[in-house]
Amino acid sequence: MKQSRLLLIICAFALLFASCGRKIDRPGEVSAAFSVDIPRTKALGDASAATELDVRVYDAGGNYLFSQKGIPSDRGWNVELKLVPGTYSFSFWATSAQADAFSFDGQYMTLSYPLMDVNSDDEDAFWASVINKDVSAPFAQNVTLKRPFALVQLTSGSLTGSSLDGATSALTVTGAVCTRMNLLGGDADQAVRKAIFTSAPVSGETDGDIPVAAYAYLLVPAEGITAAEVAYTISFAGGNTVSGSASDVPFAPNHRTILKDN
C-alpha cells in the first residue's frame, strides 16, 4: 500500500513538471515573425562580432513589456513572438556576447564610455525598430539593422613591419558625443564633452596596405553631422611614441571617418 501511494505521488509530480515545461498559447494569440538581416562587409567593422540579437517589445503607449532572443540564421536572426492582438512597437539590438558598455531601461540604451574599448569590436552594435505595428493577424516582416554608431579610424604609415609588435594606441574625442539612445526613435542625447578610450594593443587590422593604428565607436546625434576633435597616441614597444590631433572631424551614425597619420 505504501509503495502504491508513493508511486502515485511520484506520478503526480511528474505530470506537474511536464505541464510546467510545455509552452501553452493563450487564447487569441497571433504569431509575429521577423527575419532580421545584418549588413556584412569586408572592411573594418564587418559586423562579425555582433552575434546576439535582443528584441524588445513595447505596448501602444511605448511601455516596455518584455524581451526575447533571436535565433541565428544564415542572414542574421529569426524571431517569432506570440502576442495578444493589439498595437505594438519593437526594437532590435545586436552586439557581441562580450559587450558590457550598454545598459537598458524601457525605451533607452545608455552607453558608458569608460567600458568602451579602443581597437575592439566587442561594443560594435546594430539596431532597428518597428513602430506602432497593428498585430491583429499573423504576419512575417523583414528587418534590416544598421549601426547607430560612428566609427573613427586612424591609419598610420608609422606602423610598418616589426614596429607593430607590442604597439598600443589610445584615442580621446572632445566634442558633443552622446551617451543615451532612444531604441524606438533612434534619437541620441545626454551628450558628454569628452570620450576617452584608454590604451590598448593595436588590432592588426589594415586599410588596404596601411595598418590601422586605432579605431573606436561613438554615439552621435542621429541627424546631421557632428564635428569633434580627435587626439591620439601610438606607443611602440621600444618606448617611442607618436601623438597628434585633428580638429573639426566630422561624424555621422553608420559612417566611418578615416584619419591618416603619415
Render pLDDT for 14-49 as a digit per residue (tens, 0 to 9).
333 333 433 445 668 999 999 999 987 655 667 888
Domain membership of residue 74 (yes or no) is yes
Q: Considering its fold, how many domains does the chain have in total? A: 1
Domain membership of residue 209 (yes or no) is yes
In the prediction, which pLDDT does 121 show?
Answer: 92
In the prediction, which pLDDT does 162 show?
Answer: 59
Residue 1 has pLDDT above 90, yes or no: no
Name the residue with higher pLDDT: 226 or 113: 113
Distance between CA 23 and CA 125 in Å, rounded?
31
Best mean pLDDT range from 11-25, 76-90, 197-211: 76-90
In the prediction, which pLDDT does 206 show?
Answer: 82
Q: What is the CA radius of gyration of the chain?
A: 24
In the prediction, which pLDDT does 205 show?
Answer: 83
For the chain, the average pLDDT equals 86
Residue 164: pLDDT band with limits 50, 70, 90: confident
Domain membership of residue 17 (yes or no) is no
Domain membership of residue 150 (yes or no) is yes
Residue 13 has pLDDT above 50, yes or no: no
**Domain boundaries, position 240:** 30-261
Domain membership of residue 195 (yes or no) is yes
Domain membership of residue 25 (yes or no) is no
Domain membership of residue 94 (yes or no) is yes
In the prediction, which pLDDT does 131 show?
Answer: 97
In the prediction, which pLDDT does 27 show?
Answer: 63
Domain membership of residue 13 (yes or no) is no
In the prediction, which pLDDT does 31 show?
Answer: 96
